[in-house]
Amino acid sequence: MKKFIILPLIVVSVFYLYSNLTGAPLLIGNKEKSVLRTNSEEYRKHLNDLDKYYSTKKLGSFFESGKTVFRLFAPQAEKTLLVTFTSASDSAGQTYDMIKDKDGVWETSIDGDKTGLLYGYKVFNDSANYYNPNLCIDPYSKAVASYNTYYSPRKSVVVNESNFDWEGDKWIQRKWSDLIIYEMHIKDQTAHPSSGAKQPGTYMGLTEKGIKGGIDYIKSLGVNTVELLPAQEFANIEIPYKDSVRGRYNNWNPYERNHWGYMTAAFFAPEAYYCHSDKEIQWNKWEGESAEQINAFKNLVKNFHKEGIAVMMDVVYNHISEYEIGNLKEIDKEYYFRLNDKGNFISESGCGNDFKTERPMARRMILESILYWMQEYHVDGFRFDLGKLIDWETLETILHEAQKINPKVVFVAEPWGGGYDPKGFSLRGWGSWNDQIRNGIKGENPYNGLGWIFGHWQGDNNFERIRSYVNGTLITDQNGLFQRKEHSVNYLESHDDLSFGDFVRIATKEVDPNRIIKNVDSNAVLSPLQLKLNKLGAAFLLTSQGITMIHAGQEFARSQVVSFNSPVNDTTKGRIDHNAYNKDNETNYINYNHADLNKELVDYYRGLIAIRNKFSAFRNAEYEDIKFFQLENNPFGLGYTVDYSGDKFVVLFNAGQERESEFNLPEGEWEVLANFKSAGTNAIGVITDKAVIPATSCLILKRK
């Protein structure tokens, strides 16, 4: 039985009921509204009545008919002022009255093109600081200047978006089943000295040519898509350690940083921090004022596209930045957020405030943000963080409208948050992360929850379940999840939790997670058993139907040892980290010297990726094209044939055995593309009659 978290909503239609069999039913053509549960009938009615506010006017700042126009949706404000500044550091600015229309939109204008002008809004509403409200950024800001401190005060920047030369670039359009995604962090990819980048940790450093790391390295792996961890402007700094800010006491984060970026501050603006190659963030300083981050991000996309690599963004619309001042919480808390019967924030996201995506203007903002990144930045796809916290109607609308612009735009979700429903996403044409293949193949944890590659059946795993993963975990199979295989994002490692390499290190008991690791280079080197397990997992992943995703460094079994090179007093230094979200240091930075130490594994990944790219059988075979069998006297052995598009393959896995297994091959000569040692598109041998598969390894064979 699944455990559910009950959303604080009274659902008024059976169409909103969760279905354990098929996922939540579609809402298209049946757009009924949900209402907020409250003990106060009057307050409930007040909150529901806010849905009446809706406008189609263009929002934000823009140049039109000789004037720079400023528009803000703030339906409950009693008064709103535009405040402009000549520089980010100005404490006082020039104020302009704004006029409100019947739909809740405030507007004013200034003569001339005010590109480069900094501005914000003073929104007077029913709040504790009514007489002196904080300066709020424009929710439609295309660039933001931020002051690096706990409260993250910001100013919006008026920008001109028509001055970038795309050189004819547009989207890279692929079938979803052809995607091999490399999930990565913009700074981490080149911040380590081993990358050789002249501008380490930046948009620019990531696309430098002729260096060890960055775009050349990513292209050399053969992946065809990068997925960027959050790059919309976010709150880099958390509240002070062992101190309180805004009612929260920080006893968890001695670094006082949010490095990964899952605290979005502006849905339309690229993160300014990635324009600077400083090792550490510069506290108590402004950044982003020049808006150079706009062209820097566009250049990143253009350069990846030149290499044939698509760009996806990890986006966070389920909540906004928790601690900072001057955002939607102060513009209109009741309109934009899910609240309880006391008017307090609901936090099923675990991040302080859940965005009320079902509000008409909140839905419009999310949709327009997605379309903006597609049209203005040529972004090819999106991964939605905690996607289940976004209401179905919004998700359906996004896909429908985005496909009008780019029919092959990619949408995948993390199918958690207020429930778990990959089936519901698949019904709507969305992909989602497949935790079944992750847990079934690797395991849920490295202590007492090992998976198939270790010779264990995790949970209700069995031979039939392992078989279903090969086919794309389709609903036609036992406990399947997806309507179509290309909705299954197959992965063994993501930014969350232990890296696959560290999972294996701990699971084999060759590394003690409680031990201080003083020599990170020695720890990085894989033992023979660790190498075999990493290869076996990779081989299963890259021969399974669906979308393939690997995380940066997975190809060399990256180890995330908490860095000693930090002034922060962290008692976990030297130990393996399972949640490095707050560490802007070598804990997260990609160490290319470690890729050299484990070159055999890197080459193995390259070979498997080349096989998947060359032979469409591993991406596009139909269900009936794949025939399974179990290796004799080996409960953890798996074999199958794939007969597709004129090619025939035999794939054999020997998992969890201390001895080799033998298999009688179909008639003919079979080229060995992958074995326990190496993998690639060129045959490394030819065999007939019988195949011998060593323990903890695989064979990929192609009919000659």
Mean pLDDT along residues 352-363: 96
Residue indicated by tokens 């939790």: 497
Residue indicated by tokens 């490399």: 182
- For the chain, give the mean pLDDT: 92
Length of the chain: 704
Contact 251, 242 (CB under 8 A): yes
For residue 129, give every residue at least 6 positions away whose Cβ sits within 8 Å of its Cβ, in sequence order, or none.
none
Contact 213, 192 (CB under 8 A): yes
Which tens digits make up the pLDDT trace of 24-57? 444 443 333 333 344 588 888 899 999 999 999 9
Contact 191, 201 (CB under 8 A): yes
CB atoms within 10 A of CB 649: 23
Q: Which fold has domain 60-157?
A: Immunoglobulin-like (2.60.40)
Mean pLDDT along residues 73-90: 97
Contact 155, 145 (CB under 8 A): yes
pLDDT over 50 at 608, yes or no: yes
Q: How confident is the model at residue 6, as a pLDDT?
A: 31
3-class state of residue 112 by DSSP: coil
Q: How far apart are CA 187 and CA 193, in angstroms?
A: 12
123-128: Cβ within 8 A, 24+ apart? 123/72, 123/74, 123/77, 123/80, 123/330, 123/331, 123/332, 124/77, 124/78, 124/79, 124/80, 124/81, 125/74, 125/76, 125/77, 125/78, 125/332, 126/76, 127/330, 127/333
Contact 51, 420 (CB under 8 A): no
Task: Name the segment(s) of the chain with CATH classification 3.20.20.80.
Answer: 176-614
Rg, Å, the chain Cα set:
26
Max Cα–Cα distance, the chain, nearest Å = 85
Q: How confident is the model at residue 352, as a pLDDT?
A: 86
Q: How far apart are CA 231 and CA 229, in angstroms?
A: 6
Q: How confident is the model at residue 304, as a pLDDT?
A: 98
Which tens digits make up the pLDDT trace of 131-152? 789 999 999 999 999 999 999 9
Mean pLDDT along residues 77-85: 97
Which tens digits make up the pLDDT trace of 661-684? 999 999 999 999 999 999 999 999
Q: How far apart are CA 107 and CA 77, in angstroms?
A: 13
Task: Name the segment(s) of the chain with CATH classification 2.60.40.1180.
Answer: 624-703
Mean pLDDT along residues 165-183: 97
Mean pLDDT along residues 441-447: 96
Contact 354, 345 (CB under 8 A): yes
Q: How confident is the model at residue 461, as a pLDDT?
A: 82
More confident residue, 7 or 343: 343
Mean pLDDT along residues 546-561: 98
Report the 3 state secondary structure along 144-211: EEEECCCCCCEEEECCCCCCCCCCCCCCCCCCHHHCEEEEECCCHHHHCHHHCCCCCCCHHHHCCCCC
Lowest mean pLDDT among 54-63, 246-255, 402-411: 246-255
Q: How far apart are CA 272 and CA 275, in angstroms?
A: 6
Mean pLDDT along residues 13-25: 36
Lowest mean pLDDT among 159-163, 287-291, 380-384, 447-451: 159-163
Treating both helix axes as pointing N-terminal to C-terminal, what angle do 360-377 and 292-306 enclose, rounded to 10 degrees? Answer: 60
Specify the CATH number of the domain 624-703.
2.60.40.1180
Which tens digits make up the pLDDT trace of 482-509? 999 999 999 999 999 999 999 999 999 9
Q: How confident is the model at residue 28, as a pLDDT?
A: 44
Q: How confident is the model at residue 39, as a pLDDT?
A: 54
Specify the CATH number of the domain 176-614.
3.20.20.80
Percent of residues, the chain, with pLDDT higher than 70: 94
Treating both helix axes as pointing N-terminal to C-terminal, what angle do 500-507 and 528-542 enclose, rounded to 10 degrees? Answer: 130
pLDDT over 60 at 4, yes or no: no
3-class state of residue 281 by DSSP: coil
Task: Name the segment(s) of the chain with CATH classification 2.60.40.10.
Answer: 60-157
CB hemisphere CA count around 679 (13 angstroms): 33
Q: What share of the chain is helix, strand, coil (3-state, %, to 5)?
A: 25, 20, 50
Sequence letter at residue 7: L
Percent of residues, the chain, with pLDDT higher than 90: 84
Q: How confident is the model at residue 127, as a pLDDT?
A: 66
Contact 72, 106 (CB under 8 A): yes
pLDDT over 50 at 76, yes or no: yes
Q: How far apart are CA 422 and CA 473, in angstroms?
A: 11
CB atoms within 10 A of CB 342: 10
Q: How confident is the model at residue 7, as a pLDDT?
A: 33
Sequence letter at residue 607: G
Q: How confident is the model at residue 128, as a pLDDT?
A: 59
CB atoms within 10 A of CB 503: 26
Q: Find, among 658, 657, 656, 625, the residue nearest to 642 by Cα.
A: 625
Backbone angles phi, psi at 324, to 5 degrees: -75, 165
